Structure 1
Amino acid sequence: MQILGTITFKNSTSRSKAALLINEPDQETGTLYLAVQDGGVPYAVEIAHVSAPMAGADRRFTLTDGNVLHFPTDTIPDELAPYLPPSASRWHIMHKFEQVSPKGMLVVLLLIVGILYGFRLSIEPAGDFAARLISPKHEQIIGETTLAQLDLLLFNSSMLEKETKQRLEERFEALLALQTGNNSTIKLVFRSAPTIGPNAFALPGNIIVLLDEMVEFADDDDLITAILAHEIAHVTKRHAMRYITRSALLTTGAAVIFGADDSVLEELASIGGGLVLAKFSRAFELEADEQGAEDMRRLGLDPQKISILFDKIESECNGNCDGGSYFSSHPSFAERRSNLDRY
């Protein structure tokens, strides 16, 4: 069987006549060959990607060598189906949608929106359930691997004085004593990262990173204690691991819907997924604020102390970094202050 079309070679705009060959005489069964006009002997090829004939364009088959085949036909012969990637069927469905009447398209779009909304609602419980299935040992491996990568790419050794570290570690131990369950594995590590600036991180595997720049910026042991209480809350509530599993669920969903090889669509899906996860991250921040404030109160310290950090950040950037936008992973300072008012 011969499927006639044209070919555009990689890094070229000129076309030549070509044909895909299936089950031709002397051709090995189960192989797909390409014959190009004036191109010599036919040779075996594999199809990496298929684009549907949207808006009247030719159907395009991108080969693994980067060359692109063009076929004016709107149908795919059954004999060719075994050689196509999974994305071919999804692009074919999209092409069929293009031919639906406006009223029918509205029904299809409403159906898609309903499915996506249901998927969005399932991310939180499904992701959290998946996080519970990950053992502490594997979570620790994830955290230690992440820290090793950050040490390689961003972090420097801490330059804080030994006395300062010891003083903050005592505050950290006092916070750990308030936690229920076995939290002895939670560890505090000191690092420096001038390119990042003042910050603290809660990594999977019970690891909290405190940067020298944050200690210098806060310049207040009680404020650092409030920051550590906030990060401990992230750890005890497994926010990092839950965020990772929710993100993985979104990525997997995008791959199932669009196909893992449809990189552009998957990238767009990941952008939309980022907006959904930003909401989840904001919820995590508020939850950590609440738990941190409660721990500060139990230590006899100001439960709203972390709001001083918000004031310092706002003063540094003239009120232009309040956060809380739709794209932000953190709530606004105003929302966080309001949430802390109960304490």
Structure 2
Amino acid sequence: MGDAPQLPGLRGHAFAARTSYRQPARLVTREGGEDLWVDIQNDERAVLGSAHLSELKIDAPLGSLPRKLTFPDGTVFETTDHAAIEALTGQTRGSILHHYEGFNRRLFGVVALCLAAAWVLWRYGLDIMASAAIAVTPPAVIEQIDVGSLQTIDFAMAEPSRLTDDQKTEVEKIYHRLVSSLPDDVQQEHSFDLLFRNVPGMGPNAFALPGGTMVMTDAFVEDFPDADVIAGVLGHEIGHVVEQHGLKRIYRSLSMYVLIAFLAGDVGPILEDVVLEGNVLLSLSFSRAQETQADEFGLRLSNAAGFDPAGLKRFFKDLDGRFGGSEPPQWKSTHPSSAERVDAIEEYINGL
């Protein structure tokens, strides 16, 4: 330390040993043999504390907070001149980190880089994580998801179907014709089961569970007996199963929390609520993209099975006539609007 520069007078404040009185002071260095000698002087040049530089306890830099130098007898000198302290001691523990934490033009680049990395992870990393999770999920677990979900639906909202056997048989024929039009490897990879339920208040609807179980409401069969319409909607739901949309939504949602925890650690209860709501909003566009993908899959499948793909268009036209004025804005919806879907289906049919 003998090569350390001498300070003619570094301004700051001092606390005499065992007192809380803060007074203006300066730090003065002088030769002290192999080690530099350091004095604290008040404005009257009275020495408040002295020691070799090597005997001082020097706090690590922290933001713009004053640096503290504690003498062996307890006298404390503090100053905001970080550069002078670093010139005196050289780089100490935390000084390099403090340098890079300082506000400068590099900070904008670092922030931009972090935001870009977060966007790339969100845009591509979540899908990769979800696909990897699906690949290692045992079929028995996926089957159990269907069983548990169906039990919940039956307990909370569904009743046994009131359709006649003839009505069920007609729909099942359409369904098996669609499934038979799938490639053999797809048929072997997934299990396809069609169930009927009376769900008061849901109206004409059909939905697919992640493992391949599909449920069609009585109201749908009664309101839309047209085979082409049924084929289009069932083809859409088969598309959800084949493309594993349900599992992707589940794992993508879980992956979002893993990603946030990786980037931000423990976010706390308040930020956790913000993250939850933000994750819901971000997942809406992902869900709309899946619906569009399932529409296209259903159109291809119903066409391949010999049905008129315009049946799906007629279904959405009917929905638009019934509920078009009450549909939520797109950014708040899990599905594209019925009018948009009609236009997209018409464009697809024209391209066949």
TM-score by length of structure 2 reads 0.63
Q: Which residue of 1 aligns with 2:84?
A: none
1:198–1:213 contact (8 Å) kept in structure 2: yes
Answer yes or no: is 1:336 the counterpart of 2:341: yes
Which amino acid letter does the alignment assign opposite residue 256 of structure 2?
A: L
Q: Does 1:289 align with 2:295?
A: yes
Q: 1:306: which partner in 2?
A: 312
Equivalent in the alignment of 2:160? 157
**Aligned equivalent of 1:265:** 271
1:114 corresponds to 2:116: yes
1:24-173 alignment to 2 at 5 Å? 109-121=111-123, 122-173=125-176
Q: 2:29: which partner in 1?
A: none
SS in 1 for 2:276: helix
Does 2:212 match 1:206? yes
CA contact (8 A) 1:233 1:288 kept: yes
State the AA in 2 paired with 1:247.
Answer: S
Looking at structure 2, the residues matched to 259 and 274 of structure 1 have their Cα atoms a distance apart, in angstroms, of 20
Residues 282/318 of structure 1: CA separation in 2 closer, same or farther (3 Å cut): closer
1:315 alignment counterpart: 321
Aligned-partner Cα distance in 2 for 1:146–1:171: 25
Contact 1:325/1:332 (8 A) holds in 2? yes
Q: Which stretch shows the higher mean deviation, 198-207 or 104-113?
A: 104-113
Larger radius of gyration: 2
1:104: Cα distance to partner?
7.8
Q: Percent identity?
A: 28
2:107 and 2:339 map into 1 onto residues whose CA distance is: 43
Q: Is structure 2 residue 230 aligned with structure 1 residue 224?
A: yes
SS at match of 1:189: strand
Distance change >3 Å, CA 177–CA 237, structure 1 → 2 = same
Quote the offset at 1:225 in angstroms.
Answer: 1.8
Q: Is the 8 A contact 2:302 2:309 kept in 1?
A: yes
Shift of 1:318: 4.8
CA deviation vs aligned residue, 1:26-51 (integer Å, no higher than 9, x gap): xxxxxxxxxxxxxxxxxxxxxxxxxx
Contact 1:258 1:265 in 2 (8 A): no
Distance (whole Å) between structure 2 residues aligned to residue 285 and residue 307 of structure 1: 14
Give ranges in structure 2 of 5+ residues lacking alignment: 1-97
Cα distance, 1:100–1:195 mapped onto 2, change above 3 Å: farther
Q: Distance in 2 between matches of 1:338 and 1:150?
A: 33
What do the CA deviations read for 1:233-273 (whole angstroms, capped 9, x no partner)?
11111111111111110122234445557222122112222
Note the C-alpha offset of 1:118. 1.9
Q: Is the 8 A contact 1:278 1:329 kept in 2?
A: yes
Alignment CA distance shift 1:320-1:195 (3 Å): closer
CA distance in 1, matches of 2:194, 2:205: 14
The 1:109–1:281 alpha-carbon spacing in structure 2 relative to 1, beyond 3 Å, is same
Q: CA RMSD in A?
A: 2.5
- Cα distance in structure 1, aligned partners of 2:157 and 2:267: 31
1:325 paired with 2:330, answer yes
Whether the aligned pair in 1 keeps the contact of 2:235 and 2:302 (CA below 8 Å) is yes
Counterpart secondary structure, 2:330:
coil
The answer on 1:189 being equivalent to 2:200 is no
Partner-residue secondary structure (3-state), 2:120:
helix
* Structure 2 counterpart SS, 1:190: strand
